[in-house]
Amino acid sequence: MKYQDIISSMTIEEKAAFLSGKGEWETRNFDKLGIPSIFCSDGPHGIRKQAGAGDHLGLNASLPATCFPTAATIANSWNEELGETLGETLGEEAMAEGVNVLLGPGLNIKRSPLCGRNFEYFSEDPYLAGKMAASYVRGIQSKGVYACPKHFAVNSQELRRMAMNSVVDERTLREIYLTGFEIAVKEGKAKTIMSAYNEVNGVYANENKHLLKDILRDEWGFDGIVITDWGASNDHALGVAAGSNLEMPNPGLDSARELIAAVESGKISIEDVDARVDELLDAVITLSVKAKGRPEDFDKNAHHAVARRAATESTILLKNEDKILPLKSGAKVAIIGDFAFVPRYQGAGSSLVNPTKVETVAELAGSYDLQIVGMSRGYSRNGKEDAATKKEALDLAARADIVLFFFGLNEDSESEGMDRTHMRIPQNQIELLQELGQVNANLVGVISAGSAIEMPWHHYFKALLHCYLNGQAGAGAVLDILTGKANPSGKLSETIPRRLEDTPAYRYYPSRQRTSEYRESLYVGYRYYDTADIPVLYPFGFGLSYTSFEYSDISVNEDGVSFTIKNTGDVDGAEVAQMYVGLPNGKVFRPEKELKGFAKVFLKAGEIKTVTIPFDDKTFRYFNVKTNKWEIEDGKYQIMVGSSSANILLTGDVLKGETTEVMPYVKEELGAYYSGKIENVSDAEFEKLLGRPIPDGKWSGELSSNDAICQMYYAKSGLARLAYNILTKKKKKADESGVPDLNILFIYNMPFRAMAKMTAGAVSMEMVDGIVKLVNGHFFGGLGTIIGGFIRNSKKNKAYEAKIKG
């Protein structure tokens, strides 16, 4: 052990207390042992360091920081160099604000467009997500701050996120849900990782030895620290034994006592505790040294400029009929839509940044060479009809040559803590759009939305820009693109399906029971649409430019693929070339094609470049559930190069020999998976895929400390059901107001045990047991346990504090 000398002078009480947080964001310091404390902060696209008292979801404002585009946006740039620059900029701000661990990037897979947190995640594809995450990690860590990729793993649903079991077969787990993390760890060299709230195949992510030990530490060689998501620890002792270091945020000393009791009873060994303490000491000491003499400020303007570049490179041009864009100089335009005045540039929840400034289209448009006939908000944000504003907008539209319409998802549509129930934008925006279409045929739409939306109205527009959530400098980026000052080069990092019903997990998401069954297996996003032949509106990898590119001269060898791209238009531009790999008629089922490489290439008008995309250890592999290893099937692999998943322009092939003769599946038993038609997978077939019975996820009997508060609907106690009704009413009221109440959402979805895990020692697990008894209708027994537990907890806390003082 690296810090044997410190460890041997620590008491068991000190060791156990060290392995959980001191407050909302800090680790415990032990001054007499020379152990400092380190500070963690959200979040993925800007620093959310709270100046005053810390709270979980940002009731207290945080210090001003640059609000960069969110991960869903940046992934559309397909530019790792940009990701690294962003990471460096984030790292600099973290350092300036005294933050040692930056809680991001988030890279969970967009299993369904409905996940409320998709705006914080990169992609539906693990390779793209992993590459982008690794670039952030490299950038952040180059500045002396540790990055914390999250949420490890299989955390693709917000509803009851802390009380849910993701049931997924081993191959899907490896190929879809872990590959991104593998890249972030191996290529990004991430030094911390955040364990997710959910269970994975019946074991909480934070105590899942298969995830944390076998895969993360043993296979991938992770040598950093595992931090629990806030309140994600269930059994701290099992977590420590599995390889989790730090329980956050502030469970008080009850958790430390649990750890000591586990060592004393032989449930876990002292060696496990020492190993976790050693790893955590390494992080705490290294980070404190790196932060010595740190700058206490950062260049706000320079960082704003980085945010603007990032927004520009991530904007996607979805359509452009009659070359209506870029706007000609002096074009006579009307600017319509509330988003032009109050931009929607970030999402809600723990990632909410207090921006250093926010630019708006309404303020900046005047400085461009445009003849603006007027600006109108057009619709109101609360979804209600506003006749006067609508009329104002329609009058303006009638007087303009071109209408620029700014619209999309409102604040209440997507947020941490809730999933969407549909993919539509508010009806009042659609109604205005239809009327605008009656008075002006030249509509240009500018969408702000952090996730995929249904666009049955897209034919109203001649041109459409999708900006996702583009950060505080987004307005300038949009105007640069509209006017041709910048050439769009973003490409979709997720598919835009035609309708929710077409999405692969439609019948399985979100889980209504304790278990979320990943029946669609590998068929996530384009992997499904391509294989099952489901038409989509805009495919994965798609995006237009103001110039055109020609691909030619493919050559494939053992090491990779080379080809040339020519910019055949008359403006400079960048193209994202994508390499997909497939094995037609393979013996092991697989999607028709999978992304295995990409390159963003900048080309001057008329320029030609040779592009090489190398193969790597992921190009041909699949996870064999019989050999329990990555294997390669023999055959003639198709190497497909294209400008999107649906537009393959060059193909070649390469022969590979097999690494095993052991076949993982019997084809006849897995018809749905071999055809890709996974919309209605039967229990029998899913069981075959899982290789074990499907766990029973039904809610029944008494509630336990791991059930979510919203499950009090089933409570035997009338008092608990009353509390449930009050909470539900509050939630409904907040939902209707248009601004989700994050704390209510958090409480609604959290399990009872979180009361002990997040209250700085005020509540112990014994008291939680009392509360659960009460909820289950054992009023007096429950009350007795709560009161007795309270007295015992206070006494034990005092005694423990005395032991670790100094």
Q: Which stretches of the chain bind ligand BGC, using CB under 6 A?
A: 42-43, 56, 103, 150, 229-230, 350
Structure tokens at 366: 């005047």
Catalytic residue, chosen from 42, 229, 386, 480, is 229
Q: How far is the CB of 234 from ligand BGC (least distance, A)?
A: 15
Strand, helix or coil for residue 114 = coil
Asked about 218 being catalytic, the answer comes back as: no
Amino acid identity at 180: G
Query: Residue 24 or 279: which CB sits closer to ligand BGC?
Result: 24
> Which residue, among 110, 113, 75, has the nearest Cα to 496 in the 3D structure?
113
Strand, helix or coil for residue 642 = strand
Strand, helix or coil for residue 577 = strand
Give residue for tokens 């350092």.
95
Q: Report yes or no: 262 and 66 within 8 Å, Cβ to Cβ.
A: no
Q: How far is the CB of 41 from ligand BGC (least distance, A)?
A: 8
> Which residue, among 510, 514, 530, has the nearest Cα to 522 in the 3D structure?
530
Give residue for tokens 């998802």.
409
Structure tokens at 336: 């319509």
Q: How far apart are CA 249 and CA 20, in angstroms?
A: 7
Q: How far is the CB of 742 from ligand BGC (least distance, A)?
A: 9
Query: Residue 154 or 263: which CB sits closer to ligand BGC?
Result: 154
Q: Report yes or no: 20 and 236 within 8 Å, Cβ to Cβ.
A: yes
Q: How far is the CB of 48 from ligand BGC (least distance, A)?
A: 8
Cα 298 to the center of its chain, rounded Å: 27
Cα 750 to the center of its chain, rounded Å: 19
Torsion sign over Cα 119, 485, 374, 430: negative
Q: How far apart are CA 775 and CA 782, in angstroms?
A: 8
Contacts of 638 (CB under 8 A, 6+ apart): 581, 582, 583, 584, 593, 651, 652, 653
> Which residue, among 573, 580, 569, 574, has the nearest Cα to 620 in the 3D structure?
580
Alpha helix ranges (H) inside 223-269: 236-242, 253-265
Q: Report yes or no: 508 and 156 within 8 Å, Cβ to Cβ.
A: no
Residue nearest to ligand BGC (CB): 350
Q: How far is the CB of 133 from ligand BGC (least distance, A)?
A: 14
Q: How far apart are CA 174 and CA 464, in angstroms?
A: 36
- Beta-bridged to residue 342, according to DSSP, are none
Strand, helix or coil for residue 473 = coil
Q: How far is the CB of 255 from ligand BGC (least distance, A)?
A: 17
∠ CA 68-70-75, nearest 5°, is: 110
Query: Residue 184 or 537: which CB sits closer to ligand BGC?
Result: 184
Tell me if the bond preceding 326 is cis, omega within 30° of 0: yes
Structure tokens at 801: 């504090």
Q: How far is the CB of 243 from ligand BGC (least distance, A)?
A: 20
Torsion of CA 776, 781, 782, 783, to 10 degrees: 140
Contacts of 479 (CB under 8 A, 6+ apart): 361, 364, 365, 368, 485
Query: Residue 140 or 595: which CB sits closer to ligand BGC?
Result: 140
Query: Residue 154 or 241: which CB sits closer to ligand BGC?
Result: 154
Query: Residue 56 or 209: which CB sits closer to ligand BGC?
Result: 56
Q: What is the largest CA-CA distance in the chain?
A: 82
Query: Residue 42 or 707: which CB sits closer to ligand BGC?
Result: 42
| β-sheet with 647-656: strand ranges across | 594-603, 573-582, 635-644, 647-656
Q: Looking at 697-763, which runs of residues are DSSP E strands?
A: none
Query: Residue 88 or 158: which CB sits closer to ligand BGC?
Result: 158
Side-chain half-sphere exposure of 209, counting CA atoms within 13 A: 5
Query: Residue 336 or 742: which CB sits closer to ligand BGC?
Result: 742
Q: How far is the CB of 24 from ligand BGC (least distance, A)?
A: 8
Tell me if the bond preceding 720 is cis, omega within 30° of 0: no
Distance between terminal CA atoms of the chain? 25
Q: How far is the CB of 216 from ligand BGC (least distance, A)?
A: 18
Q: How far apart are CA 428 and CA 412, in angstroms?
A: 15
Q: How far is the CB of 550 from ligand BGC (least distance, A)?
A: 43
Give how far Cα 793 sits from Cα of 257, 298, 625, 766, Å. Answer: 11, 44, 47, 8
Query: Residue 95 or 758: which CB sits closer to ligand BGC?
Result: 758
Query: Residue 171 or 731: which CB sits closer to ligand BGC?
Result: 731
* Pairing relationship of beta strands 402-408 and 331-336 according to DSSP bridges: parallel
Q: How far is the CB of 62 from ligand BGC (least distance, A)?
A: 11
Q: How far apart are CA 405 and CA 632, in angstroms?
A: 50
Query: Residue 151 or 236: which CB sits closer to ligand BGC?
Result: 151
Count CB neighbours of 186 within 10 A: 16
Amino acid identity at 406: F
Q: How far is the CB of 150 from ligand BGC (least distance, A)?
A: 5
Q: How far is the CB of 23 from ligand BGC (least distance, A)?
A: 12
Query: Residue 150 or 491: which CB sits closer to ligand BGC?
Result: 150
Cα 246 to the center of its chain, rounded Å: 21
Catalytic positions are 229
